[in-house]
Structure 1
């Protein structure tokens, strides 16, 4: 059976017209003769959307009863039984009611697709799993219903239903999206112009990635290697040399200048071609610094393996559909360039339609500095090789001279075996000595005329020449194999160390400290210190036993000032003092001075104290240092973000407070002012009834003003942590009726269900009463007259829960976090609702008493507020 095709209409926000556009497509398909049915469409009361359903066949939904309430969901069985060619299923990310066939609607759609039925569906960008946290950060609203990106990317077609923020807000203001009572709140919160602009950009970028994936798949399926310049992509080739920084910055400038207007810049990718054998190549520390630089400029870093560097580079560039390659001018000398074209020239010749930039730099054409090749074998083995040569060859000569006479060919083979043995024992140079000495001994002792360094026959000359050549070749091969074995072992050890480092850093809460500690443990150092501009920013030391009492030292041996983590480093004296926070100050011997000093970047330096380090360890230590720089930068960015977050929150609170003061505080003040001014006026004479009414208005307005100011002050004290709490044991059956009495006649309509055997609460009676009054007043305001609020209490272990239950319109679950934000009034649009501090203050007061305040959906509709407080016991915190 052929699997059905999925077409998804993607929108940046609710109301852009996804469902309407989807139904338009359904009508077009139906007019062309396609069998179309509507399985589920959420119209949300929008009349234009409802009108689009008029001429389409609509299947009944499945009814599921959950917690005493009937819900309707997609009836998968009904769709499968009807078996249409095309089915319409709205809201791809919807979570099904418990008891449904699947937990998510996209799973229902997958079953329909597997049955060979084509599906049209819709989804908003905020429901995509990969963007969920980004949308929450932008809008302040966390979306609980999400769909995996892979489900949407797997769709055969994804169509963006786009609308400018201004047009969407006009639709909202005209009542085409939400009911009139919700319009003001929506425009002032989720549907702000900035939010909609950001969501629109997210949708466009996500869809651009989807289109890029489709283009890449098409090029792969059709084996298209030629570059299609649909988007500028700049690839910079890195060798691991010091010129890499220059190349990266030049490539970044090229990427910026060659980008299309307002496209946000071209893609920048850095690539390093490593050898296929995985042995030593470029400096890992330098490559790590280059990676950091590329990523800081908005690019990405890649490594590919290959023996032919130009071909590997071009294969990578064509695979990513690159349009330009940036290379450095060859740093080889002129003679080397004459003998070989080099990577740059070869890449340019083979690049085809890809532009190649050869960038000059300081090391261009200067030649590579010669470096000493370290010996492949240890000094002991080389010495053993020389000893074997000096002792073994004379012994072999004596044995062949005194033993049975052999042909020259056999003599040469035995000497060749001796040379191979020396090569295996001592490596290249002892083997070369053995080859030369062996050839001389063969010539003098076994090649006619004997006893002379001459050769009478040409065949013997050829045999000796072959002997020398084979001996040299074997010696070189053995030495090379030993060197490669050593390099492979070293590379494997370095890779294991770096893998362990990466794991420890990822698992640690403080990556910089974890990285330095791992470096100290790996090389068994006494301490590792990271210094930035002369100031210690991080340090780890070997755990030691407490120091014995300090021995008096001559004044000349004492440092002039102790070194502390916040003190700039002075030039290294003969002795270094312990940090001031350590036990008694004593001086350390000069042996504890830095065993190595690694410059990381700029003025960032890593000091390593302990035993002397081998020169071969410096490469891996520099890689550690480069990662330490990255970890330090991340920690600083995290700290800056943590510092900026309270400032942003304070700014938001200040803005909201100004908005509240401009209306909610000014309204009762204006009413009181008008009443008092009327009473003081001599132009109008009021009777006793009018005077009493004006005084009552002024009194009520001032009472409202007092409550608002009190709430504002209490909220400020809560946020400053200066709110006093006097907790004591109190029974819920005592405090709840007292709170209802404060509500006057309305409080007597509330139904109570409080058990007599409920344990006592540990709370502040005054604060708890205030919380109960706030929550019950809210419940009374939203509950219908026929179904007043209900207050129940129950015990759960060491906690007592008080539930304030209303049966009003309720609040969607995805907006529950908003109800506790200061200056939020969800569903309230009158002039007597206050500044929206009631629930925020109630939660703050509850948490100050070591309790919690959480919302819950009321079965049958409405909202339940749950106050959870600890019971009174000897161990209860105060």
Structure 2
């Protein structure tokens, strides 16, 4: 067969990936396929090799008319459940190798047996081959919008396509119609058949539905265009915002005014459709948090509840960090609050609002006043001295006594040292005081040193006046340098203390998070760790019930039983709290305490989910057992019942004259079927008892001579052979239950053994155990099936209909109940060996086995 001329003349496109063009419809019937076919006609007129791979006309004459003049490839026929279905023939398209192919309905699910499960995967294969594809999809089939469409229209779309597939298209053409125009097209019969029009107009094609779908399509496409714009700005290094969309950035400080700012920003963003609310919190570049994580978490939840997003960035200062972030997200407005600094401090230090306005450039800045504006900031725990009380006391003593001691020393060496040397000694003393006692003792030391230098060592001595202007300058510089050095030393000590605390907190929280996520901790362990970390007297995890508080976990002496009894209370969630007893914790510890509470909440949630998962697994197993039981009982229990009914009818019928042999045969059949039914019911009852935990074994010293002969009773020696030595030690078990275990194993072995190959039951001593083996010469079981061997209703290829597949499941459950272990091994040669390992009974004080 010769290759088509168009395929031979087509250029080699294997070196590039094909281009994807998507006609995105706001609703069915807007004309996606018509537009795609129109594009194929235009490309064909320009000399491009185009074919129609697959088009669904849905009986629309206009769409069918557009196919005229275009080459349409035959479809692939797929057989499914006796029905012939047609799908896109991907190999035919690859063999034809056009430059452009039209593939309709991108979200379509292919028939089972097709090369790909979804049509968009077919399209990807064509694109990989270098063939350009034109396709269509409706907005309701986009994966991210599926739930929204279902809420709007009440119709859950079963066929969806991942958003990423459509977003990756080289070109997206939105096909849209006003709702009234689309309804007129529907009423004229241009979309559906006449009998479907009324139902469609009153259901899916209501004006509200079509308007909402239209808005979804426009917003989805706007997001895509916005991403393209951001990529273009990055590629061309454009820093200035382009106001293509209203995007409001709210500067979050963590202060009490943040809620007001977020709500004001949300109201501004709601004024224009498609606007976005973005909250940003700037973390100082030193990594030390300026507010508690709980506060930031609460503000994050508020931002998200208002429909916005929350971001945390690191910046040298708040103003520059906010402006850089706003430029990065192409913001059109920044919302910032009036500074909380007092009026005096505002004169010295400019607030963030004016600084952001100065740096914002073309971005609008909305300054919001609030009830905390100009109220002044409370002294935070971070501004308190990080030094201990002992160091502070030593610093004050050194600040007051040190200058006096240095003055006395300099007085003794007055002829040896000049004023510059005196200044250097006093400066060294100030630095030492700053290291020991912090900022304010160092300032006092510098002032006292200034006074002493002026009185004792500056001419004229004995007076607080200075004759030489140079000495005035030297003393002034001394005080300023001493204050500056003291401030730097104090700040370094403060930052070192904060960094050490932050590192300790991070290390503790990381250890807790790892243990919680790994499922290694319990609520009691976390409560104990909390008490040890903060050296508390007691910690209790409380839960509020209808009748009061209940202690879930506690550690320490005399833990609180209600929040009122505790020194400190931390809220875990709406119904649970941590009650801390002992010393009153400083506010600086609240951050770690809140993190502990969060971890406790996560742990409790994990425990609840694990419990629910266990319940769900148990329900799933019970449901699977019930389903399998119903399926098996419908056949396996009815078979012996039918046989019994037939035998009884034959024996009691007055119309039948049976010979003695026939009557004996019917009686034998009746006995066999009754025995089989009895065994099935016994197994079902045993399985039910095992699953409900009602089996109560009585363990005592037992000889296997009492168990094995009873288990194989009823089998001929040619069918079952027993090899149990008489000198075996006693085993600790329940004789009745162990007998059922061995009987079930023997019954299973006999059923699978070939004629003339007897089953062997043997026993032997191995270390401190006695091993019972039931050996058959049957077909055996593959290794991968041995794990399923002891599951209920597992026949593993046995189609004899001789049982429900419960024998081994019951044997395994009863073996566990009596403390034995049951496992399956291969019989050398062929067959299966069931091994029961029993513990040897402990000897009694007189030497006998107990």
What is the TM-score normalised by the length of structure 1? 0.55
CA contact (8 A) 1:37 1:87 kept: yes
Q: Is the 8 A contact 1:596 1:608 kept in 2?
A: yes
Provide the residue aligned with 1:572 in structure 2.
Answer: none
Match of 1:731 in 2: 635
- What displacement does 1:152 show? 1.4
Q: 1:251 to 1:441 in 2, by over 3 A?
A: closer
CA offsets, 1:269-320, max 9 Å, x none? 3333332323242454444333333333333333343345344434444444
Partner of 2:626: none
Equivalent residue, structure 1, for 2:848: none
Superposition deviation, residue 409 in structure 1:
6.3
For residues 122-173 of structure 1, what are the alpha-carbon distances to aligned partners after superposition, in whole Å with 9 as ceiling and x for unaligned? 2333443333455567778766654332221122322233457787788778
3-state SS, counterpart of residue 136 of structure 2: strand
Instruction: Report the counterpart of residue 612 of structure 1 in structure 2.
Output: 583
In 1, distance between residues paired with 2:192 and 2:161? Answer: 24
- Is 1:489 aligned with 2:496? no
Compared with structure 1, are the counterparts of its residues 293 and 507 closer, same or farther at alpha carbon in structure 2 (3 Å cutoff)?
A: farther
Alignment of 1:295-444 (within 5 A): 295-339=304-348, 342-348=351-357, 351=360, 354-370=363-379, 373-383=383-393, 420-421=431-432, 423-429=434-440, 431-432=442-443
Match of 1:125 in 2: 139
1:161 has 2:175 as partner: yes
> Which of 169-178 and 153-162 deviates more?
169-178
State the number of aligned residues. 633
SS of 1:242 mapped into structure 2: coil
Change (3 A) 1:217 1:408: same
Q: Distance in 2 between matches of 1:329 and 1:218?
A: 35
Equivalent positions of 1:514-553 (< 5 A) are 526-529=539-542, 541-543=552-554
**Which whole-Å CA distance do the structure 2 matches of 1:597 and 1:498 have between them?**
19
Unpaired runs of at least 5, structure 1: 548-574, 580-590, 639-724, 739-755, 764-797, 799-849, 852-868
The correspondence for 1:269, drawn from 274, 278, 299, is 278
Q: Contact 1:132 / 1:146 at 8 angstroms: preserved in 2? A: yes
Aligned to 1:294: 303
Map of 1:568 onto structure 2: none
Q: What is the rounded CA distance, in whole Å, between the counterparts of 1:298 and 1:616 in structure 2?
A: 33
Residue of structure 1 aligned with 2:484, choices 449, 463, 473: 473
How far 1:333 moved relative to its partner? 3.0
Q: Which has the higher contact order (CA 8 A, sep 6+)?
A: 1
Alpha-carbon contact 1:760-1:871 (below 8 Å) kept:
no
Match of 2:288 among 279, 286, 305: 279
Distance across 1 between alignment mates of 2:630 and 2:75: 55
Question: Matches of 1:521 and 1:148 in 2, distance apart?
Answer: 51
Q: CA deviation at 1:479?
A: 1.5
Deviation for aligned residue 1:483 = 0.7
1:54-90 Cα deviation digits (max 9, x unpaired): 3123445677889999876656666566554433233
**Is 1:250 matched with 2:264?**
yes
Confirm or deny that 1:7 pairs with 2:21: yes
Q: Aligned residue for 1:214?
A: 228
Q: What is the Cα deviation at residue 733 of structure 1?
A: 9.8
Are positions 1:56 and 2:65 aligned together?
A: no
Question: Residues 247, 480 of structure 1: CA spacing in aligned structure 2 closer, same or farther, 3 A cutoff?
Answer: same
Deviations 1:341-376 (A, max 9, x none): 533344445555554443332233333345573113
Corresponding residue of 1:41:
55
> 1:247/1:389 Cα in 2 relative to 1: closer, same or farther (>3 Å)?
closer
Q: 1:432 to 1:142 in 2, by over 3 A?
A: same
Displacement of 1:520 after TM fit?
8.2
- Within the alignment, does 1:22 sit opposite 2:39 as a pair? no
Q: Which deviates more, 204-213 or 412-421?
A: 412-421
Residues 486 and 232 from structure 1, CA distance in 2 versus in 1: closer, same or farther, beyond 3 angstroms? same
Unaligned stretches of 5+ residues in structure 2 = 1-14, 610-628, 643-672, 685-747, 749-791, 794-802, 814-850
The 1-side partners of 2:372 and 2:391 are apart by 39
Tell me how far apart the structure 2 counterparts of residues 346 and 516 of structure 1 sit (CA, whole Å): 46
SS at match of 1:362: coil
In structure 2, the residue matched to 1:689 is none
3-state DSSP of counterpart to 1:39: strand
Q: 1:315 to 1:422 in 2, by over 3 A?
A: closer
| TM-fit CA distance, 1:8 | 0.9
Q: What whole-Å deviation, never above 9, does each CA across 1:196-232 have from its counterpart, x for those lacking one?
A: 7765554343223223323333444455555555544
Q: After superposing the two structures, state which structure 1 stretch, 303-312 or 182-191, moved more.
A: 182-191
Shift of 1:120: 1.2
CA contact (8 A) 2:283 2:289 kept: no
- CA change 1:113–1:872 in 2 (3 A) is closer
Task: Work out the CA distance in 2 between the residues paired with 1:469 and 1:546.
Answer: 55
Alpha-carbon distance change, 279 to 157 in structure 1, aligned in 2, over 3 angstroms: same
Cα offset for 1:593?
1.3
Q: Please report how far the alpha carbon of residue 543 of structure 1 lies from its aligned counterpart in structure 2 after TM superposition.
A: 4.2
The separation in 2 between residues aligned to 1:512 and 1:244, in whole angstroms, is: 34
**CA displacement at 1:536 relative to structure 2:** 9.1
On the 8 A contact 2:542/2:553 being kept in 1, the answer is: no
Partner in structure 2 of residue 595 of structure 1? 567
3-state secondary structure, aligned to 2:297: helix
* 2:568 match: secondary structure: strand
Aligned: 1:31 with 2:45: yes
